[in-house]
Amino acid sequence: MNVEITRLASGLTVVTETMPHLESVALGVWIKSGSRNETEDEHGIAHLLEHMAFKGTARRSARDIAEEIENVGGELNAATSTETTSYYARVLRDNVPLAVDILADILTESEFDEEELRREKHVILQEIGAANDTPDDVVFDKFSEVAYRGQTLGRPILGTPDTVKGFTPGQIRNYLSRNYTTDRMFVVAAGAVDHTTFVKQVEERFARLPMTPSAPPVLEAARYIGGDVRETRDLMDAQVLLGFEGKAYHMRDFYCSQILANILGGGMSSRLFQEVRERRGLCYSVYAFHWGFSDTGIFGIHAATGGNELPTLVPVIIDELRKSSETIHQQEIDRARAQIRAQLLMGQESPAARAGQIARQMMLYGRPIPNPEMMERLEGITTERLTDLAGRLFFDTVPTLSAVGPIEQLAPLTDISTALATPGIQTKKAAG
């Protein structure tokens, strides 16, 4: 791993991985701040800021930003999540100075023009509308909302129409000055990049970033609550999410949870796919996932199926969860490790994937994690640890259920909770 790290006097961290066989560079700025860092009256502002960063600076109009990067065949984009925000580009090696200049420009010189803000609010309102028209988006938003009820972690990243309409340039600047400071920002590049040259470019162009926040960043401690949320819609299929409290990034069982999710529903050979979809034909999509955050996590199973299949589908899923707490085979662990190893190695062939991976590791662990060390962590996972984890995850915590579509035949959460707590018990709807 040819990774070099420099921490500038300003507190900004610069990280590169040189890939000499490439002609391109993926680079970006990652900020350890996202929708969780919003105050009560800022719901959706992290995402709005990401949009507004491309809408004009003191030196460039919105069109200039787009044309300059595309004139050299480059790409420019951004993304907002619950705990991070990123602005990134991909260019040929000779155009790295231009990409650094544009990224610095949009993060230090954005004007937040009133007319541009009005237009971008309209764009985001359409985005919110599109998400509300997409059942598999709605079911995940509602899932987070009930799992972390009344908390920033449970709110949709996009915000609501009312909150988005009300934002002012001053509010955007306040959020920016509180969260976009050098101690929370990482500039990362991977590909045909020289570390020393890149550091000099970053140091020069990002000199105007504030070193300390205007006020302490907001981060409300997460409290997993769980519960039930349903929305009946006249659709062809039902979207169902069953979840449990998972593990934070730094917890001992985090990697165990990733392996368990892979075994249960990580691919076509997984237990849920084989039993629910292939053998029984109860749904057209089923998978498991584990999301880790800085202080909590979520383990979930998502299925998309016809409403008439729900009475049979849910008990089968519960049965597979129970089986995972009783028996895990070494072959399944080996297969999951092989898939993770392949993903790591394949990611090394993509500068964009590597830049993103390095940035995430820097934000979470303060250093890049070499692949051999990552695999060593996975080697310590045994069948006994996995069955013990499954028992604690699925049967010792309050479940979260989210469902959208023709869900009249979906059993009450009390019946599902009873079935989880009592071996051999089926939900009432299923038994009928």
Using the structure block, give the residue that is written with the tokens 């985090």: 254
Helices (H), 109-207: 114-132, 135-147, 161-166, 169-179, 195-205
Burial pattern 73-108, b for ≥16 Cβ within 10 A else e, equals ebebebbbebbbbbbbbbbbeebbebbbbbbbbbbb
What pLDDT does 274 receive? 97
Residue 148 to residue 17: CA distance in whole angstroms: 37
- Write down the pLDDT at residue 62: 95
Output the DSSP codes for 278-338: IIT---SEEEEEEEE-SS-EEEEEEEEE-GGGHHHHHHHHHHHHHHHHH---HHHHHHHHH
pTM score: 0.91
φ/ψ (deg, to 5) at 194: -100, 125
Residue 123 backbone zone (phi > 0: left; psi -120 to 50: alpha; other: beta): alpha
Listed in sequence order, the residues at least 6 apart from 316 whose beta carbon sits closer than 8 Å to its beta carbon are 275, 276, 280, 282
**Residues shown for the chain:** 432
Contact 59, 102 (CB under 8 A): no
- The pLDDT assigned to 423 comes to 59
Distance, CA of 342 to CA of 340 (rounded, Å) = 5
Contact 393, 244 (CB under 8 A): yes
Tokens linked to 74 = 């480059």
> CA triplet 293, 227, 45: central angle to 5 degrees?
45
Cβ–Cβ under 8 Å, residues 68 and 98 = yes
User: What pLDDT is recorded for position 13?
Assistant: 97
Give, in order, the Cα–Cα distances in Å from 251 to each of 84, 293, 376. 19, 10, 16
Q: What is the pLDDT along the chain (432 residues), one digit of tens a residue?
A: 689 999 999 999 999 999 989 999 999 999 999 999 999 999 999 999 999 999 999 999 999 999 999 999 999 999 999 999 999 999 999 999 999 999 999 999 999 999 999 999 999 999 999 999 999 999 999 999 999 999 999 999 999 999 999 999 999 999 999 999 999 999 999 999 999 999 999 999 999 899 888 777 778 889 999 999 999 999 999 999 999 999 999 998 999 999 999 999 999 999 999 999 999 999 999 999 999 999 999 999 999 999 999 999 999 999 999 999 999 999 999 999 999 889 888 988 999 999 999 999 999 999 999 888 888 888 889 999 999 999 999 998 889 999 999 999 999 999 999 998 865 545 444 433
In the Cβ-directed half-sphere of 339, how many Cα atoms lie within 13 Å? 18
Q: Is 114 part of the annotated catalytic residue set?
A: no
The DSSP element (H or E) to which 411 belongs, if any, is none
Of the candidates 432, 83, 417, the one whose C-alpha atom is nearest the C-alpha of residue 228 is 417
Which residues contact residue 280 at a Cβ distance below 8 angstroms, ignoring those fewer than 6 apart? 312, 316
Q: How far apart are CA 32 and CA 180, in angstroms?
A: 8
Cα pseudo-dihedral 10, 11, 12, 18, rounded to 10:
110
pLDDT of the residue at 347: 85
> Could you give the angle at which helices 114-132 and 135-147 cross, rounded to 10 degrees?
100
Rounded to a whole number of angstroms, the CA Rg of the chain reads: 23
Domains of the chain as residue ranges with CATH: 3-205 (3.30.830.10), 227-431 (3.30.830.10)
Sheet holding 13-18, edge to edge: 3-7, 13-18, 185-191, 24-31, 85-92, 75-80
Of the candidates 326, 321, 255, the one whose C-alpha atom is nearest the C-alpha of residue 288 is 321
Catalytic residue among 42, 50, 68, 83: 50
**Nearest C-alpha neighbor of 356 from the set 13, 2, 15, 72:** 15
Record the tokens describing residue 267, joined without a space: 């691919």
Between the two ends of the chain, the Cα-to-Cα distance in Å is 58
Cα–Cα distances in angstroms (integers) from residue 178 to residues 49, 173, 183, 407, 409, in the given order: 13, 8, 11, 43, 48
